[in-house]
Structure 1
Amino acid sequence: MNKKLSIYCISSILLGITIYLFQYFNISLPKIINNYLNDFLIIAIVLYISLLFLRWSRNNSNFTLTLSIILYVCFMYSILFEFVFPNYLARYTKDYVDIILYFASGYIFYKLQNKLD
């Protein structure tokens, strides 16, 4: 597996957990981190876990996610979390910046996945 992709995604997971714990214990974070960083990290985390599962299930350590799959995941997160859920659940708010962050994260994942070690 691409070492840079693994480091990036594992760091994203650890950072996401840290931010969640800070929020859970009401530890103050800068507004940009509190409101946007998790939205940026989630796509890399979901894609990385999906990639690990697909490599394991297909018994193919060289399997990669196609650009269309990555774009699909970004698109679905955008639709669900920015248009559907805010209409039905008070916990979610519509924020168009999040859509940009989803696709930026997907782009970085795609570039790192296709980079040789």
Structure 2
Amino acid sequence: MSFFLVHYSHPDGQGWSQHLEPHLDWILDRVEDGSLVASGPTVGTNLRSAMLLVQAANQDAVRAIIDTDPFIIEGQVSDLWITEWDPIFGVFHDQSSQASVPMAKIGR
């Protein structure tokens, strides 16, 4: 399984409010099924936006997961991007491409 960073913005404040509860239920379900590692709003931006850390086999699998989010279904997302992420340093090191290399030895 790989990690993917997902970012999206919510330009419609009223629509965001209207669909927030189903979205939060969706978030909790993804945490429970293990596909969502972390999620939360970005801070200090003029536009409401969020980042999600998703674990999946590939980008198509991430897109299939994200496509079930009520915010996506209800057209409440813009500026969506998905990118694979390799967490070489930190708490997810053991799940990175460098898991067999001690962090102190990476790049030396």
Give TM-score, length-normalised by structure 1. 0.30
**Which structure has greater helix proportion?**
1
**Which structure has greater strand proportion?**
2
